[in-house]
Structure 1
Amino acid sequence: MAPVAVPSSQPGKDAIANIKSMVTSSFSSSENRRVAPNLTTLPEMLTWAAKTHGHKSLTFVTSPTTAEVNDVAWLESSVKAMAFAFTMAFGSSTIGASSHGKKPIVIVYLSSHKDNMLAVWSTLCAGFVPCLLPNLTAQLDHRKAHIEHLNSLLTSDGVKPIWLTHQIGSGQLNEAGATGLNIKLFDDVKKAAEAQECPKDFKFAPAESDSEAILFLTSGSTGFSKAVVHTHRTILNACVSKAEAYKLTPKSTIMNWVAFDHVAGSLEMHFTPLMHGCNQIHVDAATILSDPMVFLHLIDDHRVSMTFAPNFLISKIAKDLSAQASQLKGTFDLSSLKRINSGGEAVVTSTVKAFCEALNAVRAPGLDDITIEMSAGFGMTETCAGSIYDCIPCSLSNPGKNLPSSEFLPLGRGNRGLEMRVVSPEDGCTPLADGESGELQLRGPMLFVKYYNNPTATEQSFVEGGWFRSGDLGIIENGELRLSGRIKDTIIVHGVSYGIPELETYLQGKEAEGLIADSYLVVAPFRAANQDTESFVVFYAPSFDFYSENATKEADLQVAALLQKAHAYIKNVCIKMVTLAPHQIIPIPMEQLSKEKSTLGKLSRAKLVKQYTAGVFTQHITRVDGLLQLSRNEIFVKAAPGSVAEKICTIFEGIFDLDMGSVSAEDNFFEMGGTSIDVIRLKREVEMTMQLPDEIPILRILLHPTPNLLSTLVEQILNPSPSDANVYDPIVPLQTTGDKTPIFFVHPGVGEVLIFVNLAKYFHGERPFYAFRARGFDKGQPVFTSMEEMVTCYADAMQKVRPHGPYALAGYSYGGVVAYEVAKVIESRGEEVKFVGLINIPPHIADRMHEITYTGGMLNLSYFLGLVTKQDAHELAEPFSKLPKEEQLQKVWDMAPPQRLHELQMSIPKLDHWVGIARSLIECGKSYVPNGSVEVLDVFYAIPLKGTKDDWLNKQLKPWQGFCRRDVEGREDGATFTDVPGQHYTLMDFDHVPFFQKIFRERLEARGI
């Protein structure tokens, strides 16, 4: 097919009509059909889809609210891509070519599905090869090294790549300090395209079927990323085989929430449905992951027929639905849903059953039984994503009928054209018989052709006959695949791949000296029965002897102290690196572990795991448990029989499911793992057990976290005296261990600090974590009446705890502007503030404060506390505004889940009082006008309460740059803006805080603290 000419017209309504006429005439009448012709290149697919399915919609959902849905006809999108292509290749904002005519690789580093699609299609049509870049790490050293690696890798014949990005991406690239980058701003090219006229004789750059089309980066799990080369042919072949497997038709509606830089998000969920005329819905990943209920609402609202859900999301939805079954009964019409693909990690059979049962409990009444094909799959970047699938029809009313008895769903057979075989791992080429475990190898027309500029890696990845070495161990039986292990060095946690070598390197860092013998540590993937996601075991040889035939008690205590320090260090590094603590930490004597090393000095992960499950290391685990118990016995404080402290110890044991008598009177509730929900349970059970005449304020529990301290508090409540009167102290110490600079966190607009309990745990042993709590919660306490009063109070309290800097300060939501003002005061007193973290709050808040009525404040607080859903809060705003306050409170009370009210020990007067505190903070913010500056600022942004994430960042948060002195001076280490998972109200919850803490800690380290 001849290249397509773009008419001479500016993009707009006239251009759409002209291009529609042009693409219609570019095909013969025999090709004017609903099934794609024999396409040979991706630009051909673009124009064919514009002609045949131009009326089909591309829907972009950038926020959980239905107001943030943007529909674009495919024809309109095609027009923009064509105009953009001309501008890139020949226009005033051309991204250029080398002097000898070679076009550079274009590294596409954009955030939204919409922008990524436009950039990829236009670069293809302009004759460039796009390379999609995932989010860069917040860790500056690693980011710099990775950027420099890519800049070098993607340089060919002396032509360096183009980095096509937004202003925020440019800032991230420059902040890392990498040099020699050719950065082009996407918005500049876009504006030029909107004003540029395309000549009538402009044609798309010619392309060949086997020429490079798109580069995808591997995860970099075993080092820096490799660039996987897919040609037009491999992508088109994959689209054909996928559509056949998925039974796609022009009536299908596909919903995707996987990022566009991932091969599944682009090739599987955009190119494939585009070829077959399906409607497409693309959702920001954070929107789904921050609130899985949005996943079901979108399926219902948009009549989705196929989507994707990995095991961890299936598990999360099942649990959330079960917890809210009575409130959500009859909510969702899921009759359109035909298929759910799953991948990225093993799919647990029992989880699928629970998921289907939970869906059945909330599906709309009056509908016939629904059957959904649950399809566990296997695929890689090198195979154009999913290429091997099983397909199990699951009746929602009887999901167990067709599910297998195995722990995991099988992976089934390859898509048409894909071959698979299992061979001996020893030689990599001898085929094994049915049912034998060996190295999985693949071959087919959707397979990548090479790694860009890396002939060594390409050669090592293929064996004779064109078989690709997947890096996984598998078993093929009766033509169906199941995985049995992994050869490559990765851990997959909640669908995210982490590199084991990188984790092992960090674990054997400088802080490990004197604890871990050099080169005697290995991390091995491990999955216990019925776990929602993969975990891992750490095997290591201590650099000290933890066995001794004639050891004294004192010597054993010294060894126990070293083991405690080593295990705490290992746990903290793992949480920081992969957001998860090890399933087990196993010390092995060096003389024994050295026997497990190969002639090359390597330790076999698979062999160590096999020995662990066989009980080979039970002796060492028992020995360590004994030493740690000995150490614990030395500091164990037994509560007096019948005392209040003993009763509280029993409550601790019940909450943490521990043996009776195992809790010391000096054990810290939070160091034992207590969460924000656990605190509420502790409060309730102590009040009930001790039959207290009045409730215990949450703050008092936070300040009395051991049985002995809490018993003292109970005695004060039972036998009050004037000396027990509360004195307001805004600082709540949530975690006091560690030698690094403490972090001080300012409360959000609800004034409470419970939200930080889950976050504080991640800093145990690293740095103290203090939180500011608003005034007014305790009886007789006045609320703050001005921002100045609050800021001065907090600054004084912070310096009372830590008289001199450096300081690290952060604020969540409303607390961000308070943190900024506190930092200004501290700097004015001559002290250094090395970190100021502002979480999802713009500098100008006064207008927003004036908009919040009593109704709005109550609904926001009620949503924050889990009394109503986000959708309820949105829908109730207008009708509630017409009701008196008493009826509003009663309505929320009636709607709230009884269990949640019980957990919070909530009452209508208490809710009203809490709303009053929140209102006082709003009043303090109504006259707030930001001014001045601080030395540094780190802004973290999540999905906003309303509007798109990009608008929130660029229009609301970016003005913080004017309040950072380093940024005003043009320094690269000025204000930074970092994307974090979750919505405004959920980024600190149990599901998102593991990822937030990782990003947050990286920024602290980047600032040198």
Structure 2
Amino acid sequence: AISRESEENPVSRIGPNNAVYVIYTSGSTGTPKGVIGLHCGAVNRLNWMWRVYPFKGGEVCCQKTYLSFVDSVWEIFGPLLQGVQTVIISDDAVKDPQLLIEGLAANHVSRIVLVPSLLRLLLDSFGDLQRRLPDLRLWVTSGEEIPVELAKRFGQAMPEARLINLYGSSEVSADVTFYEIGGDPQEKRVPIGRPIDNTQVHLLDENLQLVPVGVHGELNVGGAGLARGYLNRPDLTAERFIANPFRQGEVLFKTGDLGRRLADGSIEYLGRRDHQVKIRGFRVELGEVESQIKGLEAVSNCVAVLREDRPGDQWLVAYYVPREGDTVSESHVRQHLQSKLPDYMVPQYFVELSSIPLTPNGKVDRKALPKPQAEDNLAISFVAPNDSLEMQLTKIWESVLSVKPIGIMDNFFEIGGHSLLAARLFSRIEKTMGLNLPLVTLFKAPTVELLAKIIRGKSWNAGWSSLVPIQAGGSKPPLFFVHGAGGNVLLYRELALHLGNDQPFYGLQAQGLDGRKPPYKSFEDMATHYVKEVRSLQPEGPYYLGGYCLGGAIALEMAQQLVSQSHEVALLAMGETSNFSSAPAVLPFYYSRRLQNLMFHWQNLWTLPMRDKLAFFSKKSRTELERAKLKLII
């Protein structure tokens, strides 16, 4: 019967857009969803690998990834379709560093794909990887971000091997970009590199507009590697696979990952969009917090999370693992972050662990991280008030910050304070103690102890100056930033901290905040006064000026006056500043921004105690009226 059948090969009816596999991925949500991968994506990924990293004679590959994960496709078919030998590493060996190393060495494996967590485990377990694995010349990391310090350690341990960083997801045939890491990387973060063949990566804002070089945006991927979508999930497919605004009839996949394009064209990964959190109105990149902690040589691994164990009670928590043989105190980690990050990005709790819990595929299991205990909060040791003044101030601080107990050495900004709470604090001090202190007093006195000292010495009653030293020291030319519509310059504290101790930074606060001198009513008068203040500190240029919102427009007028006086202005930085010289063109933008501001103030209003709501509403109403008058003058 068989002899009667044709000897010709069967006709294949499989095309590029047919499904090649369905792989379930939980992503960051924890809910499994089936990704329908296509033949065209799989073949494109394989062809790229064979072209860029071709196999050489005598190579041996290994298959160690669970078949339910997309990396297993390339581990199996990459070498198989090229006739390259592959050995299978058992699940037990993958979980045991000793068995894994023995298996790789015995089979002379020449290339491996692994997550950075497993690479770290191997480096921590063996100080002589080069000797143990002389044949393993190509190491590929994927699945999670690889820290710079881990890449440096690899370069020192395996100087003759190559280390490739791949980025991607199951929805885009596993890999989208690649970057070969040098033996001694100098970047602050390891880039994910450039797209593989027939793949496009667009960095877009929330309106699907391209962002400039250096500005963060969401990674949207197009090209041959895209999956068809999610199995039996048309709603989720429509949400994540969107129409390509740059190529009609094509599709982009919204990865949910953030990144920015560097000057050389490569891309830097900045973490998950759902790992970008807001605390007290500040946007915090958890990946940046983790990156700074991992910069400590004595820290082996870490993860940062935003916890809300009780409704409305949000805390930033850092979990870290000391390197074997090293001791790392919580205070040391805290002080390191305080020197590198703004206060609002420094975690309230630090928890030391023996290891970071992982999911079966080697990624961080955030749900398994333990709840921090009270003793994990190692802010400066509690120091009780010494007299009635410090006791009175402490009670006001505890009431405004909703934190108990507060010691006289605790820094206002490090225990949850920000500009809105600062205004509430000084309003409460004025009502309770009859003292009208300028907000900028917090720059000099961010603790109860220092504030009490200023009040006792009555130095807050000194002559008023618009020029406020936020960061007075440093060897670089000073920066002068003008207040926004609110008049105070507290919002520039984080910027000054970010620029470092070597950058002098001065704020220009509005005249009239002290309630004594009348405020200026025009940009020109404000600018003339601020130029005089700036020149009292720095008589000659070049000048470096800036401002946020309204402050940008005032800084522009200052620059024009300085140039007219034959002074050089080397920098004029304007943040979210409107151009009111062409009213019709900016009216839609203007009213949009006013609506955003209204929503922002409305949210702040509802966070206040009832007794403060009326005062806040009255203050903001007066500000808007003054702003409207100013618009008419302009």
TM-score, normalized by the shorter chain, greater than 0.5: no
TM-score, normalization: structure 2? 0.45
TM-score, normalization: structure 1? 0.29
